[in-house]
Chains A and B, each alone.
Chain A
Amino acid sequence: MSLNDDDKAVISGFWGKASSRAAEIGADALGRMLVVYPQTKTYFDHWKDKSPSSHNVRKHGKKIMDAIGDAITLMGDLNNALLELSQLHAFTLRVDPSNFKMLSHNILVVMANYFPDDFTPDVHLAMDKFLAAVARALSERYR
């Protein structure tokens, strides 16, 4: 399920509207994931406060979403663009790739929540394909 030209146009179009709220989207998505899929908290044992409104969650959520925003501009070659991040996730963070799906899901939920009129089924499809492609690129260096 590679991204075709239509997907890329739809993603760029939607992100044009959504990018101004990237930090919020990231924070909200991360916060939700920690609540909805509590097993993901295991990667953040070093945080005392893992609540959605906490400083750590907001800061880290912004970091994640900024990286995703960058990935959108580099949609043409995600594997190469995310090579360093893949290395980081594989060797340092050691996040099991199954978790990428869970975060992706929450990102979609938050996007729909924030942009109910713009997050049409086509946008939903394209963003889901994009996040899956990001997850694959991040998994590249695992084995």
Chain B
Amino acid sequence: MGRWALAQSPVGVTLQSDCIKAPHHHAVIIPVVSSTGTEAKMSLNSIDKERIRILWSKISKDSDAIGAEALGRLFAAHPQTKTYFTHFKDFTYNSPQVKEHGKLVMKGIKQAYENIDDMVTGLLDLSEKHAFTLRVDPSNFKLLSSCFHVVLSKRYPNDYTDEAHLSFDKFLANVALALSEKYR
């Protein structure tokens, strides 16, 4: 346990190895939106993976609806993202195009989950697609991640605890990083 034998813990952060639950703790680091996509990566440890596995078991059956709602919110909350979908007629979450695309996005998230131990390799094809064909700026991955958090927390208020939120945020950050792999 040498890695965690510190004189003081970071303020406001749960020491994962001790699983101390503090009533109102927050993650120390607030994700910063950047155009280079180079903010903190923070690899997934075994505790994160276990939390993600548990969360996934609860949410995967609603995968299509989650994808559609997250996308719909993305377009509503961050209208600039619509620029990548000039062929869409209706940007609301229950439009056929948004539903279909939400399903596709969730297929990718599932692929990431299934390759959680090596996302860079597991998402290589998707990274190539995003880099060379879709050319989505990686800053947008953060925006979609933020929408996922909103959707999950409203749909699963009891399961989306602070810890689940933290681990899932790390998961999505790692997905974004793996997707960015082939950009340069």
Contacts and interface: CB of A to CB of B under 8 A. Distances in A.
A98 interface: yes
Interface in A68-115: 79, 87, 90-91, 94, 96-98, 100-101, 104
A96 B181 CA distance: 24
Pick from A90, A125, A143 the residue with the most CB of B within 10 Å. A143
A1 to B, nearest CB: 6
Given A2-B120, A91-B8, A136 B181 contact: no
Contact of B36 (A2, A101, A143): A101
Contacts of B36: 101, 128, 132
A143 B170 contact: yes
Nearest to B14: A143
A2 B184 CA distance: 8
Given A91-B10, A101-B34, A136-B38, A96 B29 contact: yes
B6 interface: yes
Nearest to B16: A143
Interface residues of A, number: 23
A140 B181 CA distance: 18
Interface string B156-181: 00000000001000100000010011
Interface residues of B, number: 27
A27 interface: no
A139 B120 CA distance: 18
Interface in B133-168: 166
Interface in A112-143: 125, 128-129, 132, 135-136, 139-140, 142-143
Interface of A: 1-2, 79, 87, 90-91, 94, 96-98, 100-101, 104, 125, 128-129, 132, 135-136, 139-140, 142-143
Given A128-B36, A143-B170, 6 more contacts: A1-B183, A91-B10, A98-B34, A100-B38, A142-B42, A143-B42
Closest 8 pairs (CB-CB, A-B) = A139-B40, A132-B38, A98-B32, A136-B41, A97-B40, A143-B42, A142-B29, A91-B10
